[in-house]
Structure 1
């Protein structure tokens, strides 16, 4: 039986229009995040249904209108799962704005979240209509009202994000967008505890941003973005608006910069104390949790979760005190990267790293990392790294002072073709590897063209400033 028009409940004392005949048991509860004085301009709209979970229909639309009746946004049910919008003012290599495929209506349990195509305006009263057909079995709503905050953030160099509406913004992207293009001064974005379901993108001309959460597992940024939605497979016939900026490999990097949960093309970026989870299911195509493509990108105390291609770094990157999980090439790229004091968890048999560095830059260096596995991952089913040496002749992966479980195969490495004569300039290096208890492991069966470092070499490659060309990643930015 169809529900009557529902009671309208806002998170705080926002402007409402509640039908006098409605009661708390009549139907779905509608809300926006907020506090006294209005909601964020980037707030998602929430519709929570009693009883069973809702389904998304194929007809009807959700409209957001200003108090004067003018249309601010319209979300069509028929296209909601493959909608389009520009995120982060993204611009392709050709200078054209790039639109991402995203879900403008997402259902999680009993709650449908509605994500507008763009931010709303400050100091506006809005009313929302939900047409019949958007959620089959519900007649919708005619006049759901709320008000946005009157003013922009008071401190543009220290922004706060709260999913509950207790910050300057309700989404991480909303705060990133508040940083002016051409920014030259450090900006900190504090992301409060909560789950943020969104694609986040930082454009090249927004450098010197720090995004800091309340701790891994407490602050979670998640999204099922992947190659089928926004990458090479989705954009095989894409136009000039889809070409990646800052391409390192002219052909390989044509479209694959759009498929991650959190992407950064700006220099001097820091991410700390949170989880980034690409929720694409296993086998659901390449799907980075985090991708960074510029110099001086640092990740501290983060958890990065995906399956294939979890972390991709180009330029110069640094990762410390973190947890990275995946199965296929889950740490990869063309960058010069040092990862230290971190856990690398294999969630299935596969490959931990894939370096695509050339003879102009160092590759991936792992110092004091612990290599673990999820339950059920077999012994000898994972290699430290693989490389297509016929193409990436100078690829480099270095593992120093590594503790590893028995899931790491005795051969250690994999090359294509399997011919060490063609890998003379590749660097598959290792030093003082142990099991998880700290006992030295037998490396006598390692790939013939890999090698063990000397004490002096290991000391040099442990130094972040040596690996990263003079950059000290633990030194903070100054004015």
Structure 2
């Protein structure tokens, strides 16, 4: 009886052995990966990522190369797992304060289950044919792709030179597949308004707009549909990462505060050093996890920057604006100094959500220089943020004339009764400080008890508050509500 019960198992083993001997497929046979882009019938964006989808979850190896070649065999780009230099690239033609090319650290290969996405160091040339080779072991346990005919594709032409409207679609249906690809197409020293429409989807990329490309407008398909972001941060591309990089290759351009701003311009998911920039109808998400260091989602370091109907998501330092800026109908979340920078910045009809104990703002500006005004801006919190655990703002002794103004703004009970914090000095040395407030309420609209506020903060009179409700007061006559 025991022999009879084991007979089916023995038959299965013998059948599997027979299949191996005759070359028949077994349950363990592997399928070739699906390659994208693939084929010459339909041309693709010059900034297309390369994707391989396997029949199982995939892991990177520890050595080997992926190479991109022109049709004639000329090497165009290479990702070498054994060479850390291939984990860096220039973005947006960024130049340091010394005029030298700055290179960002980034992930050239991103794994997501069964799919590997390869992000090249440079956009490809238009109207060209390419093929890709992959060394054996580049992906663990995967064979090589070494036949030039296996993975071939061609690129489409660029839009007409001087185009004032560009489209981005990660699926390949636009002029470009990435936001940065569209920004790169705009000519240096641009003088005309250029609109970049970004389709629905999640765009996992660092975006940088250099100061030589003003007059850009980036518009998503809605903050719930277009998400642009990256896990960029100080450890990857900020002070911690730049400590051993020569100043000529690392110092930030257009520094508002020369000493503290040496390296911190490179750590944002979306950075703008250009004037006259507008962002609308999109989410900007720095996906650095909580505690993962300073990590701006959006950094604006130009004059006349407008954000409207946007969501800005991170933890520490989520939104940084330096120079005149206007934010309306938007949402910002974070925990420590998640709105910060210099000024003047006018924020209206928006929501600032605290994700943990900490500080809503840290605004650093010169004595008598413009700071930040928040008008009709709701201060909310995550469910686990305790009462009295968050300050409206803080500042240290280097910036004793800083200005932060909250007008007609509802605040949940997570805002501490003292309201404000000072580091390294006290109110006796804070006579130039402009921590101002008027008309603060709870979320139900009832007037707050502000009697416990920091002694050197001030409640504005009605006439003073009326003056600061006008963006032109803070923004030196620029009224962004009339510009489009």
Q: Where in structure 2 are the equivalents of 1:22-41 lying within 5 Å?
A: 26-32=31-37, 37-41=42-46
Per-residue CA deviations over 1:54-78 (Å, capped at 9, x if unaligned) read 1111110110011101001101123
Equivalence for 2:480: 473
| Distance in structure 1 (CA, Å) of the matches to 2:265 and 2:322 | 11
Q: Which runs of 5+ in 1 are unaligned?
A: 1-23
> Structure 1: how far apart are the matches of 2:39 and 2:432?
58
* Structure 1 position 476, deviation (Å): 2.6
Indicate the residue corresponding to 2:233 in structure 1: 226
Q: Check conservation: 2:31, 2:54, Cα contact below 8 A.
A: no
Q: How does 1:163-202 map to 2 (within 5 A)?
A: 163-202=170-209
What do the CA deviations read for 1:149-187 (whole angstroms, capped 9, x no partner)? 034347611000000000000000000011101111100
- Equivalent of 1:110 in 108, 114, 124: 114
Any residues of structure 2 matched to 1:278-293 within 5 Å, and which? 278-293=286-301
Quick check: 2:38–2:153 contact (8 Å CA) kept in 1? no
> Displacement of 1:35 after TM fit?
11
Quick check: which one's helix share is greater? 2
Equivalent position of 1:354 in the other structure: 362
Residues 81 and 300 (structure 1), Cα distance of their counterparts in 2 relative to 1, 3 Å cut: farther
Shift of 1:106: 1.0
Residues 60-117 of structure 1: CA distance to partner in whole angstroms, max 9, x if unpaired? 0110011101001101123479711110000011011111111111112322110010
**CA shift in 2, pair 1:72/1:134, >3 Å:** same
User: How many angstroms apart in 1 are the aligned matches of 2:172 and 2:463?
Assistant: 53
Q: Structure 1: how far apart are the matches of 2:407 and 2:364?
A: 19
> Does residue 47 of structure 1 match 2:52?
yes
Query: Which moves more between the two structures, 358-367 or 149-158?
Result: 149-158
1:295 counterpart SS class: coil
Q: How does 1:5-20 map to 2 (within 5 A)?
A: none
Alpha-carbon distance in 2 for matches of 1:27, 1:366: 56
Q: Distance in 2 between matches of 1:225 and 1:242?
A: 16
| Structure 2 gap ranges (5+) | 1-28
- What's the offset of the Cα at 1:222? 1.1
Superposed displacement of residue 444, structure 1: 1.1
TM-score by length of 2: 0.91
1:261 paired with 2:265, answer no
Q: What is the 5 A alignment of 1:293-308?
A: 293-308=301-316
Aligned match of 1:235: 242
Whether the 8 Å contact between 1:80 and 1:103 is mirrored in structure 2 is no
| Equivalent position of 1:134 in the other structure | 138
Change (3 A) 1:39 1:355: same
How many residues of Structure 1 are paired with residues of Structure 2 in the alignment?
452
Paired position in structure 2 for 1:312:
320
Q: TM-score, normalised by structure 1?
A: 0.92
Alpha carbons 1:162, 1:193 under 8 Å: kept: yes
Question: Can you list the C-alpha shifts for 1:366-411, whole angstroms capped at 9, x where unaligned?
Answer: 00000111121111110000010x2101111100011111111111
Task: Give the 3 Å change call, closer, same or farther, for CA 404–361 of structure 1 in structure 2.
Answer: same
d(CA) in 1 for partners of 2:40, 2:193: 28
Cα distance in 2 for residues equivalent to 1:211 and 1:151: 19
The aligned counterpart of 2:103 is 99
TM-superposed CA distance for 1:360, in Å, is 4.6
Encode CA deviations 1:247-268: one digit per residue, 9 max, x unaligned. Answer: 1112101111000000000000
- Other-structure match for 1:436: 443
Alpha carbons of 1:79 and 1:328: their partners in 2 closer, same or farther (altered >3 Å)? farther
Find the counterpart in structure 2 of residue 18 from structure 1: none
For residues 286-314 of structure 1, give each alpha carbon's deviation from its aligned partner in whole angstroms, at most 9, with x where no partner exists: 00000011110010000000000001111
Residues 213 and 219 in structure 1, CA contact (< 8 A), matched pair in contact too: yes
Alpha carbons of 1:377 and 1:32: their partners in 2 closer, same or farther (altered >3 Å)?
farther
Cα deviation, residue 361, structure 1: 1.8
Report SS of the residue matched to 1:204: coil
CA RMSD of aligned residues (A): 1.7
Bigger mean CA offset, 233-242 vs 315-324: 233-242
> Structure 1 118/450 Cα, relative in aligned 2: closer, same or farther at 3 Å?
same
